[in-house]
Amino acid sequence: MDSSHEAGQGGPLAGLRIVEFAGIGPGPFAAMLLADMGAELVRLDRPGGADPYSQNVVVRGRPTVTVDLKDAGDLAGTLALLERADALIEGFRPGVMERLGLGPEAVLARNPRLVYGRMTGWGQDGPLARSAGHDITYIAVTGALAAIGPAERPVPPLNLVGDYGGGSLYLVAGILAGLLSAGRTGRGQIVDAAICDGAASLMAMFSELASQGRWSDRREANLLDGGAPWYRTYACRDGLHVAIGPLEPQFYTLFRRLTGLDADPDFDRRDDPEMWPVLRRKLETLFAGRTRDEWCRLLEGTDACLAPVLALAEAADHPHLVARQTFVTVDGTTQPAPAPRFSGTPSAIRPPSGPLTLAEAIARWSGEGVFRS
C-alpha cells in the first residue's frame, strides 16, 4: 500500500523536543519511535558521519544538523539547542560526552528539566563499560543468547533482543518516565539505558523458571525454545515452512482433530519430554506431505495456531497485515508503519525534512515548548 502518512504536528508526543546525537543501532531506532509518536527531534551528526545501516527508515521523521562538536561555535550552538530541549539521546562510550563539554553535569546546569538519555551496551559503569561490543556480546552475558537457536549452537536473533528490545525500547520507556517525573518535580535526570540490563530484564520469566528447576540450559529442550513438538517450525513439501503453537489444551485438541492426529495415541503424551523426539518426527512427516499454502488453507485463522513463516518480501502482502496497514510504502520504500496505535492522537511518519543549520534548529525552538511551559 502506498501512503504519504502526512503527520502534521499530531501524535501523543506533539510538542516534545529531543536532541539526538547521531549513532548507530538502538539510539536511532529509539529516536524513530519517538518521532513517529509526534516528538520533534533534531539529529546532530558530525561531518561525513552517515550511518551505513540506517539511511532511510530508521532516521525517518527528523532533520539532520551537521555539527563539529570540537568547534567552539558549534559547541555553543549545541548547548543553546539543549537549553530548549526536553530530552537528549546519546550513544557514545562513557566519558565521550563529558570530554566534549556536553556531559550531564554541564547540560543539566543549563537546563535542569532535561531528561538525559544515555544508550550503551554495557552501561555507564562496571568492568566492561568502556569496552567495545555489539548486540551479540551484550546478550551473550545475560543468558539470552545461550537460550536461542538449535541444540548444536546458539544463534543470534538478528539484533532484536539486544539493540532494539533490550536497548531502544527500554530507552524510550526511561525517557518517557523521566519526562513524567520532570513534569511533576521540575527536575530532569539521567537515564542509563544499557543493553545488557534490558536484555537481562527481558529474560525475567526464564530466569524465574530456571530458578525453579523448570528450564533446562539445553536448547531445544524446553517449551518455548523449539523443544516442544507443538511449538516450533516445520518444513513443508515445497521447502517453505510453517510455525505452529497450539499451547493450550483446547487449541492442541483442535490441531489434532484438523490434522487427523487425534487418532494417534502418541499425541496424548504431549507433556512427556521423553516422547518429544517421536512426536517431532511424526510432525515432520506430516507437514512434509503438503505445501505451505495448503497447510495455511487448512489451519491458518483457526485456533490451531498455525502461521506461514514469511520472508520479509512476503510479509507486507499478508492479508492480515494489509488489512491493518502494518506496512506502508513511503517514497518507494516499504517499511513498518508506526506502532503502537493511538485512538485520539495517532502516530504518523512525518514527511522528509531537509538538513538544517544549527542556527535554523535553534530558531525553530525559540519559544516555550508544550513540555516546558
**pTM for the whole structure:** 0.94
Q: Are 144 and 153 in contact (CB under 8 A)?
A: no
Task: State the Cα–Cα distance between residues 66 and 43, nearest whole angstrom.
Answer: 8
| pLDDT per residue as tens digits for the range 229-273 | 999 999 999 999 999 999 999 999 999 999 999 999 999 999 999
User: What pLDDT is recorded for position 52?
Assistant: 62
| pLDDT per residue as tens digits for the range 207-219 | 999 999 999 999 9
Q: Which residues are catalytic, by number?
A: 134, 163
User: What pLDDT is recorded for position 5?
Assistant: 41
Percent of the chain with pLDDT over 70: 94
Q: Are 258 and 304 in contact (CB under 8 A)?
A: yes
| pLDDT per residue as tens digits for the range 97-156 | 999 999 999 999 999 999 999 999 999 999 999 999 999 999 999 999 999 999 999 999
Percent of the chain with pLDDT over 90: 90
At 4, the pLDDT band (50, 70, 90 cuts) reads: very low
User: What pLDDT is recorded for position 1?
Assistant: 34
Find the mean pLDDT for residues 6-17. 78
Residue 327, classed as helix, strand or coil, is strand
Nearest to 334 by CA among 112, 57, 62, 138: 57
Q: Are 107 and 188 in contact (CB under 8 A)?
A: no
At 54, the pLDDT band (50, 70, 90 cuts) reads: low
Task: State the Cα–Cα distance between residues 322 and 80, nearest whole angstrom.
Answer: 44
Which residue type, as a one-letter code, is found at position 219? R
Which residue blocks in the chain are alpha helix, DSSP H? 26-36, 72-83, 96-99, 104-110, 135-140, 169-185, 195-202, 204-211, 249-259, 276-287, 292-299, 312-315, 319-323, 358-364
Domain boundaries 17-203+338-364, CATH class: alpha beta
| Residues counted in the chain | 373
User: What pLDDT is recorded for position 367?
Assistant: 75
Task: State the Cα–Cα distance between residues 110 and 117, nearest whole angstrom.
Answer: 16
Residue intervals of the chain classified under CATH 3.40.50.10540 are: 17-203+338-364
Pick from 79-83, 347-351, 365-369: least confident: 365-369
- For residue 244, give the DSSP letter: E
* CA dist list (Å): 144 to 66, 162, 272: 37, 9, 25
Find the mean pLDDT for residues 155-184. 98
Torsion of CA 124, 197, 127, 94, to 10 degrees: -20
Q: Are 218 and 270 in contact (CB under 8 A)?
A: no
Q: Are 336 and 327 in contact (CB under 8 A)?
A: yes
User: What pLDDT is recorded for position 166?
Assistant: 98
User: What pLDDT is recorded for position 331?
Assistant: 86
Residue intervals of the chain classified under CATH 3.30.1540.10 are: 241-308
Strand 87-90 with 17-21, pairing: parallel
The angle that helices 195-202 and 169-185 make with each other, rounded to 10 degrees, is 100
User: What pLDDT is recorded for position 9?
Assistant: 55
Of the options 3.40.920.10, 3.30.1540.10, 3.90.400.10, 3.30.300.180, the CATH number for the domain spanning 241-308:
3.30.1540.10
Find the mean pLDDT for residues 165-182. 98
Mean pLDDT (the chain, rounded):
94
